[in-house]
């Protein structure tokens, strides 16, 4: 176990070993009898040259001052000089703190830290000895955050620079490291943003995580003892232009050279077996050869290398991980290694290759793997391929042809969406699932064929927006057409398989369909299923039709003149109508035996003249004929208890309100300008606002005594020639609004 003692001195006295730290650079030469020359050298200062006669003496100049250091010349012998001399200045940094340790096979030694050194010190000298014992280590955080420090010189003997030892020494420009150094700790020089020069001695075997991150290094030559380059070691060294790796290197860690934006070339050693995630991301590499033995390109290893045109991948490669080559041009890449089995998400996202041959053992292509590869024209997919992920080839706008293998089981959401040059497609029998919008917005796609036996689970909108798609072959055995499957396509005709049970929401929205046959097993047509099919004029339901539900807006804006609702239908529309805004619709027929209990009508069908209700229909509610400007009257079953909105039915002349009606809703008959006869039954308790507004042909109306509430402007725009008879009241009730009757004549207690 190590023991510990602390010493704090005003000045560090160096032993003779300190001469290894002394700066040289001035040369010595032989001398001739006559005169001799003595050159005095101090780092950062101009040399001082003095001469004397052979055997003579000189007085040495004063050692140049350095803040925080005390200097001396490395010799005091200036008498009897017989040859040329070079004299070096030796500096001793004052105020350092030393902590002694003993044990661990190293005997007694010291670690050093800044202690009470002058914070203005620009040059730091680490001695080899203190009090007769070795100085082996710089302490963790030892000199962190010194804002004036520009240069560090370490004497021979030092073996370890501790974690974060010089972190955030932002003006540090140079570090001179001794040949004895073995380890540089984690984050040791992190954010030394001016550090441009470091020598890496051959003895160095470990450089810790992030040791030189955010430094200003221009070039790096790594010693042969380095076998693993740790994570983030040169992270964001944005001045780094060249790196020389030793042949002994086995692994490069995560983000080791991340965002070294000037790094253009590297030669990876043949013995390398691992490159970590983000290792060379956002560098300026233009080409690279990955050595044999590498089995995986890790996540984002080369992501964002926008100059990377050429890469040689090894045959040993098994997987390419997420984002590995995102935003790399890779124009020269055409063939992937034979042993490759998986390509993960976004691996080649926004790359510029034009042709790609996938290897025969490839099993999976991950989500967004080739997203927005807008130069990609041709791909060859292998028979081994089982899965294509979400958005895998989305926005590959020049891709004209794909041949899907028989082994393929799943195609993900948006896998080929916006492949605007793709012209035809055959889906093989083995596919088990196709995700939402898998082929959506493939604007040039003309035909899509489901092979016999191809019965996948399908998501919504798989061909949505394929505006050139005319021919679709659906397989027998298919039970459901998913939501928006063919909306905004060019399909004019299609044969629905007899096995079909459901047509999903928006399935054929805005298709140019002209005729459709609904198989007998279909039980549901979803909302908006045929919305906007303006050419659709004929629909044929099987005689033994099992259809029960037609959703709201199912046939909105279609071209029908006449529409028959099968007897099997239990729900037609919902909160809004199924046949709204059908500009040509003249008549709706409900089949005998119908099980409808409510009919939500036909808003904005200007040519509608009749809805034919069969005898015996147990209908309770009829609603929403607003804007049916050709409708003159409506005959309905006695079971009806409530009539709804007829606003703007300008041809409506007469209407009989059902005996069970209790409320006349807001704007119910507003602007029914031809209405001349209406009878409000006893039992009505409320007439809502604007209910009969603008009914200019209605000469009179009687309000029964059961009415207790009348809304504002209920008879708006009525004139004095129109009369309202009110039963049960001798004057206006206090809670009726003043503007309830317009300018009509009111007769009380009629």
pLDDT, tens digit, 9 for 90 and up, residues 501-543 = 999 999 999 999 999 999 999 999 999 999 999 999 999 999 8
The alpha carbon of residue 589 and the mean position of all alpha carbons in its chain are separated, in whole angstroms, by: 51
Torsion region of 147: left, alpha or beta (phi above 0 gives left; psi -120 to 50 gives alpha): alpha
Tokens at 550, concatenated = 């037609």
- Give the model confidence (pLDDT) of 669-687 as tens digits: 999 999 999 999 999 999 9
> Is 651 inside any structural domain?
yes
Residue range 328-332: average pLDDT?
95
Q: 221 versus 620: which is more confidently predicted?
A: 221
Sign of CA dihedral 373, 378, 383, 384: negative
**CA geometry: angle 23, 26, 31, nearest 5 deg:** 135
Check which CATH number belongs to the domain holding 81 and give it.
2.60.40.4270
Does any domain span residue 745?
yes
Element (DSSP H or E) covering residue 161: strand 160-161
Which residues 6+ apart lie within 8 Å of 32 measured at CB? none
* pLDDT band, very low/low/confident/very high, at 620 (cuts 50, 70, 90): confident
Structural domain includes residue 746: yes
CA-based Rg of the chain, rounded to a whole angstrom? 45
The dihedrals phi and psi of 20, each to the nearest 5 degrees, come to -65, -20
On the question of pLDDT at 28 being above 80, the answer is: no
Per the listing, tokens 């979803």 go with 526
The owner of tokens 């927005």 is 372
Residue 22 has pLDDT above 60, yes or no: no
| Rounded Cα gap, residues 388 and 414, in angstroms | 10
pLDDT at site 616: 83
Last residue of a domain, one of 139, 171, 202: 139
Q: Taking the mean position of all CA atoms in its chain, how far away is CA 385?
A: 25
Establish if 657 belongs to a structural domain. yes
Measured CA distances, 441 to 316, 320, 420, 463, 466 (Å): 38, 29, 7, 7, 5
Strand, helix or coil at 217? coil
- Residue-range definition of the domain harbouring residue 94: 1-117+124-139
Q: Is residue 616 included in any domain, yes or no?
A: no
Average pLDDT over residues 366-375: 97
Domain boundary residue among 74, 106, 139?
139
Sorted by sequence, the CB contacts under 8 Å of residue 632 that are 6+ apart come out as 609, 651, 652, 653, 654, 674
With a cut of 90, say whether residue 178 has pLDDT above it: yes
Structural contact between residues 301 and 322, judged by C-beta atoms closer than 8 angstroms: no
Total domains, the chain: 2
In 3D space, the residue among 492, 449, 454 whose CA is nearest the CA of residue 473 turns out to be 449
Q: Which of 595, 536, 585 is nearest to 565 (CA)?
A: 595
Query: Could you read off the pLDDT of 206-224 as tens digits, one per residue?
Result: 999 999 999 999 999 999 9
Q: How do residues 579-589 score in pLDDT, each as one tens digit? A: 999 999 999 99
In a domain, 207, yes or no: no
Q: How far is residue 124's CA from residue 118's CA, in Å, rounded to a whole number?
A: 10
From 139, 170, 194, the end of a domain falls on: 139
Residue 9 clears pLDDT 80, i.e. is over it? no
Residue 743, in any domain of the structure: yes
Residue 255 lies in a domain: no
Q: Is pLDDT of 20 > 60?
A: no
C-alpha pair distances (Å), 384 with each of 115, 233, 298, 381: 66, 40, 23, 8
Q: Is a pLDDT exceeding 60 seen at residue 3?
A: no
Question: What was the pLDDT predicted at 32?
Answer: 53
Residue 132 tokens, joined: 């007769």
The Cα 684–Cα 663 span in angstroms is: 5
Distance in angstroms (rounded) separating the CA atoms of residues 578 and 553: 4
Considering only 89-103, 262-276, 531-545, which range has the smallest mean pLDDT?
Answer: 89-103
Retrieve residue 604's tokens: 């904005």
Percent of the chain having pLDDT more than 70?
Answer: 96
**What are the tokens at 48?**
């001082």
Q: CB-side exposure of 721: number of CA atoms within 13 Å? A: 5
For the chain, what is the mean pLDDT?
92
Choose the weakest-confidence range: 182-191, 207-216, 245-254, 592-601: 592-601
Instruction: Report phi then psi at 51, rounded to 5.
Output: -125, 155
Residue 103 reports pLDDT greater than 80: no
């Amino acid at each position: 176990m190590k023991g510990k003692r602390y010493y704090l001195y005003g000045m560090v006295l160096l032993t003779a070993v300190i001469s290894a730290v002394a700066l040289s650079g001035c040369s010595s030469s032989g001398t001739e009898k006559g005169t001799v020359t003595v050159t005095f050298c101090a780092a950062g200062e101009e040399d001082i040259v003095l001469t004397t006669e052979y055997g003579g003496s000189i007085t040495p100049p004063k050692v140049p001052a350095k803040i925080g250091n005390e200097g001396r010349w490395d010799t005091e012998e200036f008498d009897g000089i017989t040859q040329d001399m070079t004299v070096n200045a030796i500096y001793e940094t004052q105020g350092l703190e030393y902590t002694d340790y003993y044990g661990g096979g190293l005997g007694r030694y010291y670690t050093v830290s800044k202690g009470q050194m002058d914070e203005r010190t620009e040059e730091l000298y680490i001695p080899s000895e203190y009090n007769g014992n070795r100085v082996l280590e710089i302490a963790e955080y030892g000199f962190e955050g010194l804002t004036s420090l520009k240069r560090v010189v370490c004497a021979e003997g030092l073996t370890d620079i501790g974690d974060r030892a010089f972190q955030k020494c932002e003006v540090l420009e140079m570090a001179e490291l001794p040949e004895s150094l073995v380890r540089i700790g984690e984050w040791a020089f992190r954010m030394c943003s001016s550090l441009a020069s470091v020598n890496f001695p051959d003895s160095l075997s470990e450089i810790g995580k992030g040791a030189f991150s955010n430094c200003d290094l221009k070039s790096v030559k790594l010693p042969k003892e380095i076998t693993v380059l740790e994570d983030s070691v040169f992270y964001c060294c944005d001045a780094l232009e060249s790196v020389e790796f030793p042949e002994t290197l086995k692994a490069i860690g995560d983000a080791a050279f991340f965002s070294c934006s000037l790094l253009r070339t590297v030669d990876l050693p043949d013995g390398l077996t691992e490159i970590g995630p983000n290792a060379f991301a956002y560098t300026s590499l233009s080409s690279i050869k990955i050595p044999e033995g590498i089995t995986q390109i890790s996540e984002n290893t080369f992501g964002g290398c926008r100059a990377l045109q050429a890469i040689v991948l090894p045959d040993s490669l098994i997987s390419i991980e997420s984002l590995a080559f995102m935003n790399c041009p890779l124009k020269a890449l055409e063939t992937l290694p034979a042993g490759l089995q998986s390509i993960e998400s976004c691996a080649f996202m926004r790359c510029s290759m034009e042709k790609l041959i996938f290897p025969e053992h490839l099993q999976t292509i991950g989500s967004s793997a080739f997203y927005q590869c807008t130069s990609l024209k041709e791909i060859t997919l292998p028979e081994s391929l089982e899965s294509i992920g979400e958005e895998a080839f989305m926005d590959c706008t020049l891709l004209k042809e794909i041949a899907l293998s028989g082994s393929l089981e799943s195609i993900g959401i948006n896998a080929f969406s916006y492949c605007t040059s793709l012209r035809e497609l055959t889906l093989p029998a083995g596919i088990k699932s196709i995700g939402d919008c898998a082929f959506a917005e493939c604007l040039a796609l003309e035909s899509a064929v489901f092979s016999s036996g191809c019965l996948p689970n399908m998501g919504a909108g798989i061909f949505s927006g394929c505006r050139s798609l005319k021919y679709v072959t659906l397989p027998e055995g298919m039970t459901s057409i998913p939501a928006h499957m063919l909306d905004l396509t060019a399909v004019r005709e299609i044969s629905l398989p007899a096995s079909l049970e459901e047509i999903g929401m928006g399935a054929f929205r805005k298709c140019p369909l002209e005729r459709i046959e609904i198989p007998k097993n279909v039980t549901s047509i979803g909302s908006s299923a045929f919305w906007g099919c303006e050419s659709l004029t004929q629909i044929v339901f099987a005689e033994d039709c099992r259809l029960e539900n037609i959703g709201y807006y199912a046939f909105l804006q279609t071209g029908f003149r006449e529409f028959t609702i099968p007897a099997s239908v239990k729900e037609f529309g919902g909160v809004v109508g199924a046949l709204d805004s059908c500009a040509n619709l003249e008549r709706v027929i409900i089949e005998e035996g119908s099980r409808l209990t409510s009919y939500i009508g036909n808003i904005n069908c200007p040519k509608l003249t009749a809805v034919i209700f069969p005898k015996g229909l147990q209908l309770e509610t009829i609603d929403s004929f607003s804007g049916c400007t050709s409708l003159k009257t409506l005959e309905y079953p006695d079971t009806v208890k409530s009539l709804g909105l007829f606003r703007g039915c300008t041809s409506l002349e007469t209407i009989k309100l059902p005996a069970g009606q209790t409320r006349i809703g807001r704007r119910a008959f507003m602007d029914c300008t031809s209405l001349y006869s209406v009878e409000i039954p006893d039992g009505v308790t409320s007439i809502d606002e604007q209910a009969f507004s603008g009914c200019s042909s209605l000469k009179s109306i009687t309000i029964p005594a059961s009415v207790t509430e009348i809304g504002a402007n209920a008879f708006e725009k009525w004139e004095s020639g129109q009369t309202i008879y009110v039963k049960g009241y001798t004057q206006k009730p206090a809670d009726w609004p003043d503007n309830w009757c317009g300018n009509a004549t009111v007769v009380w207690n009629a």
